[in-house]
Amino acid sequence: MKILSWNVRGLGQSRTVRLLKNKLRHIQPQILFLIETKVTSRKMESIRRRCGFMNGIDVDAIGWKEGINLSLKSYSRSHIDVEVEEENGVGKWRLTGFYGEPVEQNRRELWELLRSLQRGSNLPWLVVGDFNEILFSFEKQGGRMREERQMEAFRKALEDCELADLGFSGQWYTWERGRLASNNIRERLDRGVTNPKWWDLFANFEVNHLQHSFLDHCPVVVSTNTNGGRYNSSQSRRFKFNADWILSPTCEEHIKNIWLSSSQDVLVKLQELGRSLQDWAKSERKSRLQCTTELIDRLCELGECEISEDLIRRRFIGSKELEPIGLKWGTKTQPSFIKVLHREKEKNEVKGLEDEFGTLKTETGEMEKMATNYFKELFSSKGISDCSGLMESFQPNITEGHNRDLTAEFTPEEIVLAIKLIGPLKAPGMDGFPAIFHYKFWHIVGEEITKFCLNVLKGEKNMEEVNFTNIILIPKDNSPKQMNQFRLISLCNVIYKIISKVIVNRFRKVLNLFIEDSQGAFISGRQIADSIFVAYEILHSFKKEEGLLKKGLH
């Protein structure tokens, strides 16, 4: 199923309606949500029917094709809330078309409306529309900077409603105004957000920002897939830079062209580069497949010819041309290897978790909520008591000279040193770029990434923009049932790792001044295992002495 959400101000003009019809003919959505149409309900009904949507609710409006059962639950000038029941037996779920208040002072009431809608049902829930707000500052370019309290209010509303952003493919912004560089403003105002139950029901969803030519907002299409699956199925479609891409002779030139042609913030440029590299990789695969097919066909034809010196030379040349393709890009994955992967995936899948009362929860939404609450409690501060008396007993070890070194201005050389200390093939964070990408193409991306990192370290930029982490749970036991039976691994973006590594490198110079020699960690050259070996040696010596004493007694 396709759900199309579009802010289409100007539907009173016949030209806009014709363009809308052509666009819908190409997209072919089953459910259509139109926002800020500026036309009457009667006029909207006429437009909806002309576009092929015989069923509809004309508030702003929403329409749907035959074969889908919708029941209206509530509506206002800012939302339409319906329950959806498809004929394919996927079950009921909830769809809310949402329109955010353009005036910032009035948005607080809308966030409260969203919270009240969340309390009204426990079904899988999709909210899509024009929220007229952004989540983070990097979702806007041009114009005055958005106030942090506005974005925080939006984030808090989504968190309270247990709604998460679905992400997208296509251009990063959904609204644009201004045809000159000096007055151009771009923002991501339109989006889809869902609760965990909807995400689990339609794990193979897609969200696309489609190109358009006649409105300031672009259409947002949410495509569902009812084949089932869990959250990690959708995660596998996230962009990930493959290390073998650097072997392609066209990869560096493509990265250089995309990077230098954009004037966006470095984080937005990485997003754009990731999407462009996905398209480039598809083209490369198609080109390699075509090249391989042609070479194999040529070798087959030569194999049917009579043997000659020229034939042998041509077959040798053809084989040499085919060889690098296999070396660079590998061969087809063996079915036995795929079976092993499936077995490992099934073994590591979390099938149930026990709550504090020992009740086993198997619903994905319930397990995700338990995991979220567990880590929130684990990493949240409980507050501290008055430690002034304790601190009086400490003697300062950091001299003024050390303090000057620690607070000195950060330099580009420290950024370069930090990136060299990160493992090149470590699992990437949410942006999909491992450290090997930065190593290989530092001469292209290094200057801007260095500037971004220095701005964060100087306090001129917000760390929150890169402080996103993929959390991987590794089972400690077979068939774990409790959260403390998992080991947590955080996959951070490389830019975040660079910033933290620079700070760590600063503190390394003085750590030995206030960490005792008996402590087996935190200091270069020491290992936790050393303390374990010492403990074993002590126990061994005790047992040895005990044995000698027993022999003496006899």
Q: What local confidence, expressed as pLDDT, does residue 39 receive?
A: 64
Residue 91, pLDDT above cutoff 50: yes
Q: Tell me the pLDDT band of 237, cut-offs 50, 70 and 90.
A: low
Between 512 and 133, the more confident residue is 133
How would residue 203 be classed by pLDDT, with cut points 50, 70 and 90? confident
What is the structure's pLDDT at 427?
85
Task: Return the structure tokens found at 27.
Answer: 């997209």
CA separation, residue 497 to residues 137, 281, 402, 452 (Å): 21, 26, 24, 13
Mean of per-residue pLDDT scores for the chain: 80
Mean pLDDT across 222-239: 55
Q: Could you tell me the pLDDT band of residue 19, with boundaries at 50, 70 and 90?
A: confident
Task: Pick one of 2.40.100.10, 3.60.10.10, 2.60.40.1890, 3.40.190.10 as the CATH number of 2-235.
Answer: 3.60.10.10
Return the higher-pLDDT residue of 278 and 20.
278
Q: Which residues pair with 474 in a beta bridge?
A: 487
The better pLDDT of the pair 191, 550 is held by 191
pLDDT in tens, 340-392: 555 666 667 788 888 888 888 888 888 888 888 888 888 777 766 777 777 77
Q: Kindly report which listed range (294-298, 330-334, 441-445) carries the lowest average pLDDT score.
A: 330-334
| pLDDT at position 408 | 92
Query: Between the CA atoms of 529, 534, 536 and 542, what dihedral angle is there, to the nearest 10 degrees?
Result: -170
**Which of 259-263, 444-448, 469-473 ranks highest by mean pLDDT?**
444-448
Report the candidate in 192, 189, 216, 174 with the shortest Cα–Cα distance to residue 132: 189
Q: What percent of the chain has pLDDT over 70?
A: 78
The residue among 54 and 332 whose pLDDT is bigger is: 54
pLDDT tens string 132-186: 999 988 899 888 888 999 999 999 999 999 999 998 887 778 888 886 667 778 8
Higher pLDDT, 340 or 511: 511
Concatenated DSSP letters of 288-347 = HHHHHHHHHHHHHHHHTSPP-HHHHHHHHHHHHHHHHHHHHH--PPPHHHHHHHHHHHHH
What are residue 101's phi and psi, to 5 degrees?
-70, 125
- Check residue 9 and report its DSSP letter: T
What distance in Å separates the CA atoms of residue 253 and residue 478, rounded to the nearest whole number? 48
pLDDT digits (tens, 9 = 90+) for 397-434: 888 888 898 999 999 999 999 999 999 988 888 889 99
- How many contiguous H segments (helices) and E segments (strands) does the chain have? 18, 20
pLDDT band at 232 (very low <50, low <70, confident <90, very high): very low
